[in-house]
Amino acid sequence: MNESGNSIEGVIFDLDGTLADTKLDFAAMCEQLQVPASTPLLEHIEGLTDRRQSEIARDLLEQHEMSGAACAEWMPGAQQMLERLHAANMPMGIVTRNMRAAAMLTIERLGIPIDVVITREDCQPKPHPEGLLKISSHWSIAAENIAYVGDYKFDLLAANSANMLACLIANGRNAKFAALADWVITDFCEFTERVLARESI
């Protein structure tokens, strides 16, 4: 948990389920890969020792990601939030477990005004904090002055490990992760007001 008492000087976002709704059906993907529904797929694929199985699983995941990106829609309130933060010159970045091709397709489709993007090709995937810390270093902003916003436990664990403000965007299915968050966000408008007010964190 972040207890710096400092103000927010930059915001990093997860992509799927936070800024964009790509309607990825992880349960269906797990079923196709014949693994339990809660299985972290990147870690599962990484652990496969059979090369052919690994290739099939990776291809399946990438197909789903690209299909989702091709029909991505804004999450409620996300577009307006980014427009306001962008207008206020707030540094913004994205750290996602998605592959770069899918992430960039989503960003281009929606016109997301963020050009600092870290994908799984660029670092160890969340919950490892490497991607978040890369952006902190790139901006020359201390990690404790950065908020990371996501919808899943891996987002919050990464933020906590990086000593960033861990923000959970509540969606009715992730309340069980609230204990890992510094802020639980139910409204992007309220979040924007708190960030722009340079509220202490």
Query: What is the per-residue pLDDT across 60-70, written as a single tens digit (0 to 9) for each?
Result: 888 888 989 99
Q: What pLDDT sits at residue 45? A: 72
CATH topology of domain 10-21+72-196: Rossmann fold (3.40.50)
Rounded-to-integer distance, Cα 151 and Cα 44, Å: 21
Rounded-to-integer distance, Cα 159 and Cα 167, Å: 8
Rounded-to-integer distance, Cα 59 and Cα 62, Å: 5
Please give the model's pTM, rounded to 2 decimal places: 0.87
Q: Where are the alpha helices (DSSP H) in 88-129?
A: 100-110
Residues of the chain with CATH 3.40.50.1000: 10-21+72-196
In the DSSP assignment, the letter for residue 7 is: B
Q: What pLDDT sits at residue 198? A: 72
Q: How many CB atoms lie within 10 A of CB 55?
A: 12
Q: Is residue 134 exposed (0-12), middle (13-18) or buried (19+ Cβ within 10 Å)?
A: middle
